[in-house]
Structure 1
């Protein structure tokens, strides 16, 4: 009786497999992201991901026809190492606000929406991971504030620039948050529209590492490297960057994105922290591209590289991001390990968020 039932069950099972199995020679969709093309990691956002400061910018983004996105082959995205990923695409653009990552009729240095560019990219790439760095060019205007602190060094009779910034810093962060959230949402919508399920890809929002800090030797707080007042160096590293990161952490949670905290990633490796020996620094010092000053169309970009992650910095950040992507953690912080390299470490925030 049992043997007859088992035979009947096998017969039914074979029949079902014949019906649903289809042509055995038909192509089978690979696991993971839909579509065709290589498994790819993509970066979107501003200068901290475009590669500003890392040098060797692609010709088409180094001022050609007004494009100053400054994308570098040394940028973080091109150094990410993750099983299965064989290609990388950098859509980040120096100076980009959240609106340029969002969908819409927007331009940054002649380029259209980054989310729109991602949509076109999906025709030939299977995107397995997207990393976004965004927000500093919105209401915080972080680069502009660094410039103001630079100016404060010249005008020593005035109060430190951080005194002025403190007055409305939280208001700026609060105004920034929904813009970043909407941009991340548009990126997710582009992937959804292309048939991606949530489990098909990783979406990471990362924060910013402080390019300067209070450990700069006194003799290098000038035009030789880092002309900032001591009070401003401390505020940028210990308050400004940290609070910006905490706001982005909250945005990532609201947007259902993973979060990588870089606020302490550059500690001990900031611009000018090495004094006469800059070999262990992960950020550019005060940098003037003198040749640009000879060309009226390029002169306003002569200082553009200053106080951005250099090639070594991008290598370190990529190491940390790669480790983070290989885990299931929702949040992590990039911290220096005993080997002198950055690693993705769980933080009290990430543990509490599980």
Structure 2
């Protein structure tokens, strides 16, 4: 009888020890694993938003909203045909564009810098997240900082216009890399400000995608001679070559560095326009994804608008924005940290898992 009592006592002891072990290692109410966040915090529709300059505002696409087409000094030229509205991301219910033509990095970031009367885009984003759940922020900025890309285009036009002048690239090329290098920390600061705004709103890194995209070359050599003038693309051949093969790739490499420093994803557009640059279509401009030299004659009759009559020139047109939006959509569906928008066999842009300068 004592032997059975000993076995019963030992069994009870083993059961109690096992129960204590389970309690100690699992704990009361401890979940089986980390709880997955449902996505961006807050309330409102799941949203994709664009920040930056003319390349995402919609400059060149036309059909600008009345409030950004010169009203009260606002020339941000935001278009409903801009890239962000051409995306098709599952689950996204709202598409918003805060970009402004001509914006420098400082106006995209936090601070007092304005562009065409508009305040900081990061501050506008801070207001937006109060009633939107931001899932994607796509940024294009930097060209209006030290590279002064629009001024470069003007310089190259002047070099063509003044007979006997050397190509503008002769004077620009030696200092181009230094200008790109000076731009990078400004873009880094702007991206960090965007991240700060979202962090203050309770966002964690996995709640949203931050994408920095670069610029496509709007011009290239090999265009018809009858368009290498005021009819379309008034640039010397050497400058067309340099912009496409040297200037834009160096700018893109600088932006890739900025993305890497901030943990942003990077979409390389430096080769996105190959074969579809301004004037490349000859008599059929519908094949082009960038605007040619564009003069709004009606604006010349209004003193307040005359200085903006050429503003649309050499930007992605509606076709270009549609193609870039298509490529961005593909990129967002991948887990790639970086990709390049390249033309596929179907003639459309696709996100390729490479940022190589070749090809």
User: Is the shorter-chain TM-score for this pair beyond 0.5, marking a shared fold?
Assistant: yes
Q: Tell me the distance in 2 between the aligned counterparts of 1:153 and 1:275.
A: 20
Matched with 1:126 is 133
Give the one of 211, 226, 238 matched to 2:245.
Answer: 238
Q: Tell me the distance in 2 between the aligned counterparts of 1:30 and 1:253.
A: 25
Give the one of 39, 54, 70 matched to 1:47.
Answer: 54
Give the one of 337, 340, 345 matched to 2:344.
Answer: 337
Matches within 5 A, 1:1-354: 31-347=38-354
Q: Tell me the distance in 2 between the aligned counterparts of 1:213 and 1:38.
A: 41
More divergent stretch after superposition (265-274 vs 150-159): 150-159
Q: Residue 79 of structure 1: CA displacement?
A: 1.3
Q: Tell me the distance in 2 between the aligned counterparts of 1:275 and 1:36.
A: 50
Q: Secondary structure at the match of 1:88?
A: strand
Q: Tell me the distance in 2 between the aligned counterparts of 1:16 and 1:306.
A: 67
Asked if structure 2 preserves the Cα contact closer than 8 Å seen for 1:55 and 1:72, the reply is yes
Q: Residue 84 of structure 1: CA displacement?
A: 0.8
Q: Residue 30 of structure 1: CA displacement?
A: 7.1
Asked if structure 1 preserves the Cα contact closer than 8 Å seen for 2:340 and 2:355, the reply is no
Q: Secondary structure at the match of 2:239?
A: helix
Q: Tell me the distance in 2 between the aligned counterparts of 1:216 and 1:243.
A: 23
Asked if structure 1 preserves the Cα contact closer than 8 Å seen for 2:338 and 2:355, the reply is no
Q: Residue 217 of structure 1: CA displacement?
A: 1.2
1:293-349 deviations in Å (ceiling 9; x for gaps): 110000000000000000000000001000000000000000000000000001165
Q: Tell me the distance in 2 between the aligned counterparts of 1:283 and 1:54.
A: 9
Q: Tell me the distance in 2 between the aligned counterparts of 1:64 and 1:220.
A: 33
1:227-270 deviations in Å (ceiling 9; x for gaps): 11100000000100001001111111011100000000000000
Q: Secondary structure at the match of 2:198?
A: helix
Matched with 1:24 is none
Q: Residue 156 of structure 1: CA displacement?
A: 2.4
Q: Secondary structure at the match of 1:40?
A: strand
CA RMSD of aligned residues (A): 2.4
Q: Tell me the distance in 2 between the aligned counterparts of 1:137 and 1:106.
A: 14
Q: Residue 146 of structure 1: CA displacement?
A: 0.4
1:142-171 deviations in Å (ceiling 9; x for gaps): 011001101111112011001010121111
Number of matched residues? 341
Q: Residue 127 of structure 1: CA displacement?
A: 0.3
Asked if structure 2 preserves the Cα contact closer than 8 Å seen for 1:215 and 1:268, the reply is no
Q: Tell me the distance in 2 between the aligned counterparts of 1:319 and 1:41.
A: 14
1:191-220 deviations in Å (ceiling 9; x for gaps): 111100000000000000000001211111
Matched with 2:5 is none
Asked if structure 1 preserves the Cα contact closer than 8 Å seen for 2:339 and 2:355, the reply is no
Q: Tell me the distance in 2 between the aligned counterparts of 1:301 and 1:213.
A: 24
Q: Tell me the distance in 1 between the aligned counterparts of 2:248 and 2:311.
A: 20
